[in-house]
Structure 1
Amino acid sequence: MSEATPGTGPRRRIWRQVPLLLGLVVLWMLLWGEVSGLSVLSGIVVAVVVTRLLYLPPVELSGRVNVFWLLVFLVRFARDVVVSSVVVARHAFRPRRLPQNAIIEVALRTRSDFVMVTTAIVLSLVPGTLVLEIDRERGLLFLHVLGAGDHETVERNRRAALALERSVIRAVGSRAEFEGLSS
């Protein structure tokens, strides 16, 4: 009978699920629109039931958060939302001239599920951009972009998606990913 390696026992697995459980409890409270003892307790029950009964693939978090780069990321995201909202509103109020759209393939640098999905979610939250598909194995995002009628605009949107990925890596990526940005 082999001995368990330190850090791989049931206690370690429970601690690795704490961020997921907390996230599910917060989501539950947001869905109910209130923070009360009952919503927290029922959120905990639902989170435990969901994580025990439904198979969820493990998401490896880097365990690293750079507060400075996280603030830079949040400011950049807020700016992108405001600027994109103005652009989309401009398209909406010029109905005679329909914008040309494009589907763009973006090859990400990372293979981390966490960074890839975070990048995709943030890109989808920016008005005028929607993630159509994520190819995990090849690290590709397929984006639908509003108002990308020429090659220059397509490339600008591709560079913006890669810059957003860099921001996510700087804020919450692993140390290896962070160090790989300079290469």
Structure 2
Amino acid sequence: MRRLLPHPILAAFLLIFWLILQQSAGLGHILLGGLIAILASLGANLILPEPVSVKRPLKILQLLAVAGVDIVRSNIAVMLILFNPRPKPTSDFLEMRLELTNTFGLAVLACLITATPGSAWLEYDRERSTVLIHVFDLVDADEWVKTIKTRYESLLMEIFQ
């Protein structure tokens, strides 16, 4: 079974997203989505450097909820900055040390930071375990570091390490 479906979680998510995008759970959509999910899982097996192991899968739901709320709040904050007639926002670069070392955890963290409006993951230095982030309106760097560490990094460490 592992040879046919080397990444079952990836395949399950792809099938669910396929059915959501098709807005149908008909037999044809399930079969086609299942075929696409299996092929993607086999393709991912060729390029992934290590097997994905999720230690606490229920924490993924907590991470999705936290990230969803943060993305909505950041959208509103960026909109208010853009429409508010005040001096330019104080954009700046922020370098922070990470404790997270899992490849997939780092990839998810990079996606979350970049998906959140007003911030972008720019560079990761594996030797020093630091990340460079650009923030659109950086008011308090320590608050940004604290937010990323407590809201994202700690959850990702529980999930992947």
Contact 1:113 1:136 survives alignment (8 Å): no
- The separation in 2 between residues aligned to 1:29 and 1:108, in whole angstroms, is 36
Q: Does 1:41 align with 2:28?
A: no
Identical-residue share of aligned pairs (%): 23
Q: Which residue of 2 aligns with 1:104?
A: 94
Of structures 1 and 2, the larger Rg is shown by: 1
SS at match of 2:67: helix
Measure, in 2, the Cα distance between the counterparts of 1:119 and 1:36.
35
Provide the C-alpha distance between the structure 1 equivalents of 2:154 and 2:112, rounded to a whole number of angstroms: 13
How many matched pairs? Answer: 159
CA contact (8 A) 1:130 1:144 kept: yes
5+ unaligned residues in a row in structure 2: which ranges? none
After TM superposition, the score normalised by the length of structure 2 is 0.75
Q: Structure 1: any 5+ residue segments left out of the alignment?
A: 1-10, 175-183
3-state SS in 2 of match to 1:104: strand
Structure 1 distance, partners of 2:124, 2:26, is: 37
Of the structure 1 ranges 135-144 and 81-90, higher mean CA displacement relative to structure 2 is found in 135-144
* Runs of 4+ displaced beyond 6 Å: none
Conservation of the 8 A alpha-carbon contact between 2:121 and 2:134: yes
After the TM superposition, which residues 121-160 of structure 1 pair with which residues of structure 2 at under 5 Å, given as runs? Answer: 121-135=111-125, 138-148=128-138, 153-160=140-147
Look up the match of 1:60: 51
Distance 1:25 1:165 in 2: 28
TM-score, length basis structure 1: 0.68
